[in-house]
Chain A
Amino acid sequence: MLVYFLRRLLYVCPVALGVSIICFMLVHIAPGDPLTSVMAVDATAQEQAAMRAAYGLDKPLPTQYAIWLGKAVQGDLGKSIASGRPVADEVGRAVKNSLMLAFAASLLAFPIGTSLGFLAGYFRDSWVDRLVMSIAIAGVSLPNYWLGIVLVIIFSVTLGWLPAMGAGAGDWAWDLTHLSHLVLPAVTLAVVPIGIVARTMRALVGEIYSMDFVQALYAKGLEPLDVLRHVIRNVAPTGLSVMGIQLGYLLGGSILIETVFNWPGTGFLLSSAIFQRDLPLLQGTILVLALFFVVLNLAVDVAQAAIDPRIKRS
């Protein structure tokens, strides 16, 4: 197990390095001078050159990359151009809020999606199956940012039950006010993963129920519940990995939902970075999110290996 873990960890390093190269290059594929907006408007050519030097932009690309990476490893992602604040601080604050939202959405989506998928898989080709699959496909096909707007109008503006925007005043706390802010964005965000998890689970469960060993278990006279336990054990590794990846997608993909709900997370940060052409902020946010995704994938793989010993040897 430890060997597997180490090998997997070793494999992550080049990927992480590649991720950092892509993030670094983001600034350089962007049209225009990344310094246009920091430069004093009346800067002379000399001052501009000095500024370029101060930001290290006068050096060849590989050198710039090495310097940037060196700083990033120490947690220094540079300063936001628009706000002048350190990118690491901005991202840190936002990541907390985004994680909160992603976990909340997962807590909704995974149990619901799994149960629906099990139902559909168990009653394959019945009306239950068709109903669940209709819900799942509808969930996957719905533009969720638009759903968010509709939910706000229903539950905040018309009914006045839930707040329309933000994460609540002050730091996060486990109280009614803060939880109430979480409800609408989390529900909106959960719609797509419910569909995906349900579809995956249905396929897995349906397949296993049609396998010989399940028939053999029934033949041996096992109760349906006991059979179910076997099925769950077989479904768990793949199910886990799908959910793990979904969690990552929730974290990286909530940008539209965060914009709609004014949720102070990474998505919100990204959209302001994009419109302010605040490239260091864009770069830093993407890097942190992508690395998080890499680590998450690693954790999922390891967890999968832990519950499913067959994987280790493959």
Chain B
Amino acid sequence: MANISLGAEVVMPVEQRRGYWSSVVRRFLRNPVAVGCAVVLLALILAAIFAPYLDLADPYKGSMIKRLRPLGTDGFPLGTDEQGRDMLARLIYGGRLTLYIGLVPVVLAFFIGTALGVTAGYAGGFVNTLIMRVVDIFFAFPSVLLAIAISGALGAGIINSLVSLTIVFIPPITRVAESVTSSVRALDYVDAARASGAGAFTIVRVHVLGNVLGPVFVYATSLTSVCMILAAGLSFLGIGVKPPEPEWGLMLNTLRTAIYINPMIAALPGIMIFITSLCLNLLSDGLRSAMNVKD
């Protein structure tokens, strides 16, 4: 996860037209890989949301005598962890927290970054300079470094992780939103709307946002896998989620030494991170081509 580029990509505004969304859905459904990934992710998310109703073992309660049982043990289909807790339950509840701190910062950053970017791009001039130069400063930090610096200073904890990761993802989203907004603003029909006396708010709402949200959304989805791996990394280091919460990165950490006894169990959280982030990446690629956003 160490070095995923957050470089703002050059995103072209999408021409808005009738039937656009239905054609997006059609194109998306024609891509079996992306649909497959969407199904897997949906399953993971549903499992995470409805975990309490799934009749799982208590993810916090273990028994030392039953620790590190292998896969397929009676009553523990995915074995047990170093505290003798049911791995299946830990992984599903772990997905809950992992997806939460993997997705929430991107969602928050999506709103904040879009707002900043659209403001900067539409207002131009001094406001633009002010916002974009501050963004540049945050851009001067490699994302991992910034996340670790802020989390390291604030200390471990879910809220602190959310804060630091949100800060990490606001600048790239702002940049993309700003660049799309600037190019939309220069389009003829926006000029026309302005000339006809429409207020700034209306123009932004009607003409700008419609064009900006798509590409920014696609870009944001491409950040989710980065964010999730980064969040798991923070927990792995001990500055993310605190024990005993089940979280995949933290589980990788606490199961590290068990790799000599039961490597499969120790590998499971890593595999979950891998599958989820793979699906997020492929889904994002699928969305990108379905929405005709060029990179």
Contacts and interface: CB of A to CB of B under 8 A. Distances in A.
Interface of A: 14-16, 18-19, 21-23, 26-27, 29-31, 137-138, 140-146, 149-150, 153, 189, 192-193, 196, 203, 242, 245-246, 248-257, 259, 270-271, 273-275, 279, 282, 286, 289-290, 293-294, 297
A271 B252 CA distance: 17
Given A141-B281, A246-B5, A15 B136 contact: yes
A40 to B, nearest CB: 24
Contacts of B2: 144, 189, 192, 249-250, 253-257
Nearest to A22: B137
A293 B141 contact: yes
Contacts of B142: 248-249, 251-253, 289-290, 293
Interface of B: 1-5, 7, 133-134, 136-138, 140-145, 148-150, 152-155, 225, 229, 232-233, 236-239, 249, 252, 256, 259-260, 263, 267, 270, 273-274, 277-278, 280-282, 285, 295
A149 B259 contact: yes
Contacts of A256: 1-2, 233, 236-237
Nearest to A16: B140
A301 B273 CA distance: 35
Nearest to B263: A153
Nearest to B272: A143
B152 A270 contact: yes
Contacts of B133: 14-15, 18
Given A143-B233, A282-B152, A137 B140 contact: no
A203 B7 CA distance: 15
A249 B3 contact: yes
A41 to B, nearest CB: 21
Contacts of B149: 23, 26, 282, 286
A27 B142 CA distance: 19
A181 B148 CA distance: 26
Nearest to B239: A274
A246 B2 CA distance: 10
Contacts of A270: 148, 152
